[in-house]
């Protein structure tokens, strides 16, 4: 397993070209092309802002300006959720490669997660515009933590993607289950509502919030970019970082275990 | 690099799992929890694609792998390529491999040919700079200059394959694996591919070629390997192995035809006997018209009818040796033996025969009446033999009409297309009939020496 893992850097060039291809191919043929990377999150933002500002404003007390708050959690979530959705099918749709070309299969989920990360980066300029517009209380030490959050999220997402992609080869049902799990996960994570605004009635459930890895990622982003005051969540983030690395090793082990079956199953 | 063989496959078996939906759960669990992926499956759920196969290809040699569909050729290639792992045994390959298994696998339809060449090249193990250096050569080889910047989805299948082939061949491997990919592009491109292979050979590269083109194996390979149902059935000199393989294929065809014939006859025997059927038109009087008219296509269905006052009890085709056979070589003598039985004496009878090709075109038809044989008497068991001195038909499958009827056409027993035989020929000439012929030339006309293979044939 570690031998295979050590080989991965050799495929840097390939991963790079495949990510570039993924990005180029995605919007090829559409008129607005690459601008969809901006428009899509903006649309989502518009919808949620409308719902939570005008339809049920009570739910989001303590998150003002709401669009900025939501953006801090929504962009990373989009990266996470679309990475998982895409990587669940990536070995099957890339079956031709696995069956006919000598090719380390883990490259496919890696490319998926990386391509979605680039999309995340491409959407960041809008976030910057929002931050400036709303005069967000940013501090330099907090901003320096931002790449750390991204790194933790990358490792965590990659681990999930590896496991999902490998298991989906054997259980195609995972793709359908995943769509539902992601919806639930989205609402269970403080993205569209702030953690602190959770009403008393829901508190019993919130005990589990700490077990939700993505909650820590979302809260970290929000503390850094949105909430004034120091980045108090860093301990959780550090713990999650360590856990993610372990989880990644486990995921890679599972993937490696199932590797030989891919060429026959996809 | 060491001096060991380029490819070494020792005692390799490959077992594919086939399982029901329910079984998949158990398999995944066992895959995760134990290492015994295969051993805890029941034997009826496995399929052995390769069974204890060993082979060695020394550096610089070309090995051709032949065998019927499903004999494990492609599995062997995939194992050597490292795409799948053997269930037991080991595979060792020295040097960089390029596998021409599926051309253009991994091309992305939305992006241009140029970008795809780069990505494909990198996938096959080149660096970006290496691809850049070979790019012009690749494009020129693929004959794609004008289209290289168009998205790949707009390519024709031929263009797609050519580009895939061009990339794969320019990877500059030490070991080249080729799976039936010479059927890309037109004649000209095929020649270019062969030239490229020859160049590889000259440069001392090792080639493993899986193909159904037996001529190619004979001409091009140093050695041949014949796989049958996952086992090695023979290996060594290409001519010898190809010869043995062809004989085996003919033998199988023979058996298949015999089985098919028996079935057709059985069906016909159960058919209702209807003497009123105006069937006699088929044979001697106007065979060609019957066989080609569109209205008659339906009537060309196989069957049997007649009053059975005279019965055809058996029809046998026999080769020169006298042995019954169903597969013949063009130019061989062939006999059609028709066994007849007339319980009561008849004085009005005609024995006829017709040969039809697979399209239902009558190649030849005749009968005793056409050939001026006036019937006098037929009673009891008898045999009529239609002896052909030389079967001058082109390669293909043919069906026989055999009949006994009255001179006016009233059928006693009519076998319509019930008997099948196949003609084999190494000449790939076309048409329905091969006249005995030679070529003669006058003036300054010269031909190159025929290649070794065709000299052998004449010898």
CA of A18: which chain B residue's CA is closest?
A: B119
B125/B178 same-domain check: yes
pLDDT band at B136 (very low <50, low <70, confident <90, very high): very high
Count CB-CB contacts under 10 A for residue A99: 19
Overall number of domains in chain A:
1
B158/B56 same-domain check: yes
B72/B220 same-domain check: yes
The secondary structure of B180-191 as a DSSP string is: S-TTSS-HHHHH
Average pLDDT over residues A152-168: 95
From B24, B105, B124, residue closest to A96, measured CB to CB: B105
Residue B177 within a domain:
yes
Residue B440 within a domain:
no
Higher pLDDT residue, A124 or A25?
A124
Overall number of domains in chain B:
2
Q: Do A101 and B127 touch (CB under 8 A)?
A: no
Q: Describe the crossing of helices A140-170 and B21-33 by its angle, rounded to 10 degrees.
A: 130
pLDDT tens string B302-338? 678 888 899 998 888 998 788 888 888 888 899 999 9
Q: Does A6 touch chain B (CB under 8 A)?
A: no
Instruction: Give yes or no for residue B271 having a pLDDT over 60.
Output: no
pLDDT tens string A49-94? 888 888 877 767 777 788 888 889 999 999 999 999 999 989 888 8
Residue B260 within a domain:
no
Selected residues 150-179 of chain B with any CB under 8 Å from a CB in chain A:
151
Q: Does B137 touch chain A (CB under 8 A)?
A: no
B383/B242 same-domain check: no
Q: Do B122 and A14 touch (CB under 8 A)?
A: yes
CA of B113: which chain A residue's CA is closest?
A: A21
pLDDT tens string B383-414? 999 999 998 888 888 888 899 999 988 889 98
Q: Does A93 touch chain B (CB under 8 A)?
A: no
Residues of B in contact with A263 (CB under 8 A): 78, 83-84
From A99, A102, A261, residue closest to B31, measured CB to CB: A261
Report residue B433 as tokens.
Answer: 């009939």
- The pLDDT value recorded for residue B159 is 86
Expressed as residue numbers, the domain containing B134 is 7-247
- Gap from B135 CA to chain A (nearest CA, Å): 16
Q: Does A90 touch chain B (CB under 8 A)?
A: no
Residue B455 within a domain:
no
Residues of B in contact with A103 (CB under 8 A): 106, 123
Using only C-alpha atoms, chain B has a radius of gyration, in whole angstroms, of 29
% helix, strand, coil for chain B, step of 5 = 30, 30, 35
B287/B198 same-domain check: no
Residues of B in contact with A17 (CB under 8 A): 118-119, 122, 128
Q: Do B128 and A24 touch (CB under 8 A)?
A: no
Residue B395 within a domain:
yes
Average pLDDT over residues B2-16: 84
Decide: B186 and B27 in contact? Cβ < 8 Å.
Answer: no
Output the average pLDDT for chain B.
80
CATH for B414: 2.70.50.60
Instruction: Give yes or no for residue B22 having a pLDDT over 70.
Output: no
Residue B437 within a domain:
no
From B31, B85, B118, residue closest to A17, measured CB to CB: B118
B293/B229 same-domain check: no
From B27, B101, B127, residue closest to A13, measured CB to CB: B127
Count CB-CB contacts under 10 A for residue B375: 15
Higher pLDDT residue, A106 or B262?
A106
Instruction: Give yes or no for residue A171 having a pLDDT over 80.
Output: yes
B305/B180 same-domain check: no
Q: Does B115 touch chain A (CB under 8 A)?
A: yes
Residue B262 within a domain:
no
Average pLDDT over residues A176-191: 92
The secondary structure of chain A as a DSSP string is: -HHHHHHGGGGHHHHHHHHHHHHHHHTTT-SSGGGHHHHHHHHHHHHHHHIIIII-GGGGTT--SHHHHHHHHHHHHHHHHHHHHHHHHHHHHTHHHHHHS---TTHHHHHHHHHHHHHHHHHHHHHHHHHHHTT----HHHHHHHHHHHHHHHHHHHHHHHHHHHHHHH-TTHHHHHHHHHHHHHHHSTTSS-GGG--GGGHHHHGGGGG-HHHHHHHHHHHHHTSSS--TTHHHHHHHHHHHHHHHHHHHHHHHHHHHHHHHH-
Q: Do B81 and A21 touch (CB under 8 A)?
A: no
B111/B181 same-domain check: yes
Instruction: Give yes or no for residue B280 having a pLDDT over 50.
Output: no
- Gap from B173 CA to chain A (nearest CA, Å): 13
- The pLDDT value recorded for residue B18 is 66
Which of A10, A25, A28, A102 to probe the B interface (max B CBs under 10 A)? A102
CA of A168: which chain B residue's CA is closest?
A: B28
Instruction: Give yes or no for residue B38 having a pLDDT over 70.
Output: no
Decide: B423 and B328 in contact? Cβ < 8 Å.
Answer: yes
Average pLDDT over residues B132-141: 92
- The pLDDT value recorded for residue A12 is 86
Burial B41-80 (b: 16+ CB within 10 A, else e): beeeeeebbbbebebebebbbbbbbbbbeebbbbbbbbbb
pLDDT band at B301 (very low <50, low <70, confident <90, very high): low
pLDDT tens string A194-224? 887 777 777 777 777 788 999 999 999 998 9
Residues of A in contact with B124 (CB under 8 A): 101
Which of B108, B116, B121 to probe the A interface (max A CBs under 10 A)? B108
Q: Do B31 and A29 touch (CB under 8 A)?
A: no
Q: Does A12 touch chain B (CB under 8 A)?
A: no
Q: Tell me, what DSSP letter sits at residue B135?
A: H
Residue B213 within a domain:
yes
Expressed as residue numbers, the domain containing A57 is 2-265
Query: Which residues lie closer than 8 Å to A6 by C-beta, 6 or more apart?
Result: none
B216/B300 same-domain check: no
- The pLDDT value recorded for residue A34 is 73
The question of ipTM being above 0.85 is answered as no
Find the largest Cα–Cα distance for chain B.
91
- Gap from A210 CA to chain B (nearest CA, Å): 29
From B24, B81, B151, residue closest to A102, measured CB to CB: B81
CA of B117: which chain A residue's CA is closest?
A: A17
Residues of B in contact with A257 (CB under 8 A): 31-32
- Gap from B278 CA to chain A (nearest CA, Å): 58
- The pLDDT value recorded for residue A153 is 96
- Gap from A10 CA to chain B (nearest CA, Å): 10
The secondary structure of B19-82 as a DSSP string is: --HHHHHHHHHHHHH-S-TTTTS-GGGEEEEEEEEEEEE-TT-EEEEE--TTSSHHHHHHHHHT
Q: Does A100 touch chain B (CB under 8 A)?
A: yes
């Amino acid at each position: 397993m570690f031998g295979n893992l050590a080989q991965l850097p050799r495929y840097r060039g390939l991963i790079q070209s495949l990510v570039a291809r993924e990005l180029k191919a995605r919007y090829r043929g559409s008129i607005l092309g690459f601008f969809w990377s901006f428009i899509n999150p903006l649309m989502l933002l518009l919808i949620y802002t409308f719902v939570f500002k005008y339809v049920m404003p009570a739910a989001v007390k303590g998150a003002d300006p709401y669009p900025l708050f939501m953006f801090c959690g929504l962009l990373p979530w989009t990266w996470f959720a679309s990475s998982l959705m895409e990587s669940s099918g990536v070995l099957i749709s890339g079956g031709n490669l696995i069956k006919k070309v000598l090719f380390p299969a883990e490259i496919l989920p890696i490319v998926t997660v990386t391509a979605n990360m680039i999309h995340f980066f491409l959407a960041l300029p809008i976030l910057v515009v929002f931050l400036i517009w709303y005069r967000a209380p940013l501090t330099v030490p907090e901003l320096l933590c931002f790449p750390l959050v991204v790194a933790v999220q990358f490792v965590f997402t990659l681990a999930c993607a590896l496991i999902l992609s490998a298991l989906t080869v054997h259980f195609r049902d995972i793709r359908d289950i995943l769509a539902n799990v992601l919806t639930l996960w989205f609402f269970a994570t403080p993205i569209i509502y702030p953690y602190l605004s959770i009403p008393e009635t829901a508190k019993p459930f919130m005990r589990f919030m700490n077990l939700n890895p993505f909650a820590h990622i979302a809260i970290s982003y929000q503390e850094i970019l949105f909430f004034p005051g120091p980045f108090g969540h860093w301990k959780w983030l550090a713990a999650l970082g360590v856990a993610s690395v372990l989880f990644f090793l486990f995921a890679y082990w599972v993937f490696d275990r199932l590797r030989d079956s891919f060429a026959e199953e996809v | 690099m060491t001096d060991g063989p380029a490819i070494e496959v020792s005692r390799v078996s490959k077992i594919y799992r086939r399982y029901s939906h329910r079984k998949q759960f158990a398999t995944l669990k066992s895959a995760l929890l134990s290492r015994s992926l295969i051993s805890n499956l029941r034997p009826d759920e496995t399929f052995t694609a390769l069974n204890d196969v060993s082979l060695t290809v020394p550096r610089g040699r070309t090995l051709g792998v032949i065998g019927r569909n499903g004999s494990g050729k492609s599995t062997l290639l995939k194992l050597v390529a490292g795409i799948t792992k053997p269930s037991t045994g080991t595979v060792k390959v020295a040097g960089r491999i390029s596998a021409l298994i599926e051309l253009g696998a991994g091309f992305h339809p939305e992006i241009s040919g140029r970008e795809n060449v780069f990505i494909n090249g990198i996938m096959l193990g080149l660096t970006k700079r290496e691809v850049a250096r070979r790019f012009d050569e690749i494009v020129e080889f693929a004959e794609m200059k004008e289209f290289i910047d168009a998205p790949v989805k707009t390519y024709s299948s031929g263009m797609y394959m050519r580009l895939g082939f061009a990339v794969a061949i320019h990877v500059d491997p030490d070991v080249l694996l080729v799976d039936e990919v010479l059927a890309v592009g037109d004649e000209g491109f095929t020649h270019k591919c062969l030239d490229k292979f020859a160049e590889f050979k000259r440069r001392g590269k090792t080639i493993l070629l899986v193909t159904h083109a037996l001529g190619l194996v004979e001409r091009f390979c140093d050695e041949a390997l014949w796989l049958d149902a996952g086992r090695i059935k023979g290996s060594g000199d290409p001519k010898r192995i190809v010869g043995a393989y062809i004989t085996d294929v003919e033998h199988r065809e023979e058996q298949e035809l015999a089985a098919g014939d028996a079935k057709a006859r059985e069906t016909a025997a159960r058919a209702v006997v209807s003497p009123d059927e105006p069937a006699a038109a088929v044979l001697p009087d106007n065979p060609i018209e019957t066989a080609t008219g569109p209205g008659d296509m339906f009537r060309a269905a196989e069957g049997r009818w007649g009053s059975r006052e005279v019965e055809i009890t058996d029809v046998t085709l026999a080769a020169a040796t006298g042995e019954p056979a169903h597969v013949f070589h063009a130019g061989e003598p062939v006999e059609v033996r028709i066994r007849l039985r007339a319980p009561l004496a008849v004085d009005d009878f005609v024995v006829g025969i017709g040969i039809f090709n697979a399209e239902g075109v009558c190649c030849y038809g005749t009968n005793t009446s056409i050939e001026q044989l006036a019937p006098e008497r037929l009673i009891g068991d008898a045999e009529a033999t239609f002896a052909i001195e030389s079967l001058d038909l082109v390669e293909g499958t043919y069906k026989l009409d055999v009949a006994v009827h009255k001179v006016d056409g009233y059928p006693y027993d009519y076998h319509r297309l019930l008997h099948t035989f196949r003609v084999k020929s190494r000449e790939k000439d076309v048409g329905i009939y091969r006249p005995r012929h030679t070529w003669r030339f006058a003036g300054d006309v010269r031909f190159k020496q025929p290649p070794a293979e065709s000299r052998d044939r004449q010898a």
